[in-house]
Every structure is written in structure tokens, then in C-alpha cells.
Amino acid sequence: MLEKLQSQPADALLALIKMYADDEREDKIDLGVGVYRTGEGATPVFSAIKGAETRLLEQQDSKSYLGPEGDMGFVQALMPYVFGEDATMGGRIAGMQTPGGTGAVRLALALAQRAGAERVHLGLPSWPNHVQILEDLGMEAVPFDHANADGSANLAALIAAIDGAAPGDMVLLHGCCHNPTGIDYTPEDWDVIAQALERNGVLPLLDIAYQGLGRGLDEDVAGVRSVLAAVPEALIAYSCDKNFGLYRDRVGAFYVMAQDGGTLDTILSNANALARATWSMPPDHGAAAVRIALRDPDLTREWRTELDGMRDRMRDVRRQLAVADSDAPGLNLAALTEQNGLFAVLPLDRGQIAALREEHAIYMAGSGRINIAGLHVGNIGKFIAALADVTQ
Ligand code: PMP
């Protein structure tokens, strides 16, 4: 029976990682993999997380099962950061732990599908897994253009998608630090989006995977909060894998804002049933560490300071690239300072991307996406010179 399966294309980014590893040139630069790197090129464990893990090791007296909802202390500790002071919006928001943001996106979409959703409007380019998950669930991704050629967000395309949506359609929005473009909606854009969603009754799925890595913890969710204030119901997928550096520990949460408390319980019972049938229970360790870090004022301060440092470093790299614009004509690097987070897409063609790899040992995704955090004092000069070289 299994011989009927057809082999699937290898993940392009994983192939790139292998090529990079095999490259023996000492000054090679990896801009492919989507993890934060320090100025020394490392992806260390946050010291706030190390501190929390030390306590976890001392205090944890059982690894017995929790339940499909995971560590509810973690789920609740995160809520004020996402939703603000009235973190349950008067008893209308609740959530559960998921294996990473991926698990949360998957759960949110599967839940909406149970409620009858079939089509999801999605600005492209997007995180490739959005389309993969939709395809795997048998839902339709309805694409629109996320960005304008000048490096700004294409608000008109999103509003047209919302205005033209059929009953039962959803729209998937990146809360902040858009992957791959780094192009976010402005606060004014978010107000317009919130009104359009309210006007048309389109169910939003808000995917927040980089809170704190764009403009600041509150700033990065201001748009999400505008939407939540306007619409009757919404789904939220959250990842702690970037902003707590927990990537392989797979830490995420799924939240739902319902019309009222009664509906909320029914929705959550469905989310629980779906989680039970999919992964049964999420992995505990990373979420427990986040819970400990967020419940302890000293560890929380340490976490926020680390996050500030990461954000400042990435803004600094963006500024340095922006002023290099004149050396690489046609790239519009100046727009990078307006954009947020770990990623940007450079308008390079396949030949230029190949030349960067072959002639300069610079590795980036075939889409032209670069990891801003892959650049630092020691390699940014080389990168800028190489860009000028391949775009001459
Ligand atoms: N959503 C977006 C937009 C992402 O970029 C990512 C991570 N690449 C995720 C969700 C999922 O993150 P996680 O690693 O926590 O599954």
C-alpha cells in the first residue's frame, strides 16, 4: 500500500542549510535559517530561560500527564502581554498550550474548518507553512498581494479581499514582523482593517510569532488589539519560540475570543477534542520555563532586557543596510528601516542569489529572504560589497 505514496520535494531551506554546512570558505554567511543570532553569530539560550530552567529542575516533582490544554499557568501568564490589562476581555478570551506557533495555527484552522470555514484569504508571500497547513487540511488559500513594490504594505489589496469575502471566509494576518517581508501594517492601517473585518464579519486568524522583536512588546500587538476591540470573534496563534529563544522546545499557545462566555466554553471543548486527536498533549518543558520566567519579576526583567537587546541589534543592522543603498542600485534598501523583525525580502533574481552563493559564499532563500540577524559587524561590510557586485 505505501508504495502508492509519491516522494515529496525536499524542503528548500533544509537543502540550503546542508549546502552552507558543506561550504569550506571561512567567511561564509548564513542568511537562510530563521533563528535570531547575536553579533557573534550564536543563538544562545536566554539567560532568563536558563534561570527559569534551573528553578524548574529544582522544583518539578512530577512529569505526570497534564492534559490537552497543557500548562495553563503558562497560557495565562502570557495573556496580559498579548491582550493587555483586561486580558480576558471580560471573560471572552481563553486559550490552551500548543506545540509551537505551528501547532496553534494548525489547531486554529482545523477548529474553524469544524465550524464550516473553507476559504482563507492570505497575503502572499507568507510563511510557506501557512499554505502547506491549509492544503493539508483541505482548505483553500485565497491569495492577495501583501506588499507594494516600494516596500510598504498593500492595504488596498487586503481591504478588497475582506470586502469581497464570501460568508464563512477567514483572513489570516501576521500580527507583527511579517515573515518573510518584514512589512507590517501601520497603526492607521490596522484601524482600517479592524473596521473592514467588523463590517464584513470575516473571521480573523491573527498569527503572532515575533512579539517584542519589531518595535516593542506593546507596539507589536497594537494592531491585533485594534482588531480584537472591533470584531465579535477571533482566533489567535502565538509562538514563544523566537521571543523566548525556545525553538526546539516547541512553545506556543492558541487563544480564542468568543462573542460571549457561553460560546467560549463550547469552542474550547472543540479545541480540546482536536488537540487530543492530534498531539494529545503539548510538550511541557519550554512552556513551564516561560511560566516561571513570567511569574518572577527578576526573570521577567531579564527577559525584557534580552528582548530589547535583540530588537536594537536588528534595527541597527537594518540602518546599516539602508545607508548602503547607494552601493547596490535598485534594491531599495532604505525601506528596510521601516520594516520589522527578523526578515526582509531583497528583490534579487535567481542568478544574483546564485552568484552571491557561488562567488561570495552568502546563503539566502531562493525567494530573496534574508535573516537580518545573520548580519553583524564582522560580515555586513562583505555582504554590502557582494550586493553591489551582483547588482552592477
Ligand atoms: N507563524 C509564523 C509567521 C512564523 O514565521 C513561524 C515560525 N517560523 C510560526 C508561525 C511558527 O513558529 P514555531 O516555530 O513556534 O512553530
Percent of the chain with pLDDT over 90: 92
Q: How far does the centroid of ligand 1 lie from the alpha carbon of residue 118, in Å?
A: 22
With bands split at pLDDT 50, 70 and 90, how would you rate the model's confidence at 324?
Answer: confident
pTM given for the model: 0.97
Q: What is the position in ligand 1's atom list of the atom closest to the CA of 240?
A: 15
Ligand 1 is surrounded, with C-beta below 6 A, by: 34, 100-102, 105, 127, 174, 179, 207, 209, 239, 241, 252
**Cα–Cα dist 49/45, whole Å:** 7
Residue identifier of the C-alpha nearest atom 1 of ligand 1 = 209
Helix (H, G, I), strand (E, B) or coil at 95: strand
The pLDDT, as a whole number, for residue 177 is 98
Q: What's at 69, amino acid-wise?
A: E
Cβ neighbours for 388, distance < 8 A, ≥ 6 positions apart: 324, 327, 328
Ligand 1 centre to CA of 58 (Å) is 31
- For ligand 1, atom 4, name the residue with the nearest CA: 209
Distance 239 CA to ligand 1 centre (A): 6
Q: Which residues pair with 203 in a beta bridge?
A: 170
140 φ, ψ to 5°?
-100, 130
Spatial strand order of the sheet with 170-174 comes to 93-99, 251-257, 234-239, 203-208, 170-174, 119-124, 140-145
- Alpha-carbon gap, residue 7 to 56, rounded angstroms: 42
pLDDT at position 325 over 90:
no
Identify the pLDDT of residue 224.
98
Measured CA to CA, the distance from residue 110 to residue 92 in angstroms comes to 20
From the list 263, 384, 283, 251, the residue with the least C-alpha distance to 328 is 384
CA distances, 245 to each of 35, 82, 239 (Å): 8, 18, 10
Predicted confidence (pLDDT) at residue 52 exceeds the cutoff of 90: yes
Give ipTM to 2 decimals: 0.99
150, with CB counted inside 10 A (0-12, 13-18, 19+), is: exposed
Region of poorest pLDDT, from 116-130, 285-299, 317-331, 376-390: 317-331
Count of beta carbons in the 10 Å neighbourhood of residue 3: 4
Q: Across the chain, what does the average pLDDT equal?
A: 96
Nearest of 295, 313, 311 to residue 81 by alpha carbon: 295
Residue 11 pLDDT exceeds 90? no
Q: Please, what is the angle between helix 100-114 and helix 261-278, to 10°? A: 120
Q: From the CA of 191, how far away is ligand 1's center (Å)?
A: 25
- The catalytic residue positions are 127, 207, 209, 242
DSSP for 264-333, please give it: HHHHHHHHHHHHHHHTSS---HHHHHHHHHHHSHHHHHHHHHHHHHHHHHHHHHHHHHHHTGGGSTTS-G
Q: What is the pLDDT of residue 14?
A: 85
CA distance 88 to 100: 22
User: What would the grid cell of residue 209 be?
Assistant: 510569532
174 with 207: CB under 8 angstroms?
Answer: yes
What lies within 8 Å, CB to CB, of 357 at 6+ separation is: 19, 363, 364
- Residue 392 pLDDT level (bands cut at 50, 70, 90): confident
pLDDT band at 328 (very low <50, low <70, confident <90, very high): confident
**Cα 154 to Cα 144: distance, rounded to the nearest angstrom:** 9
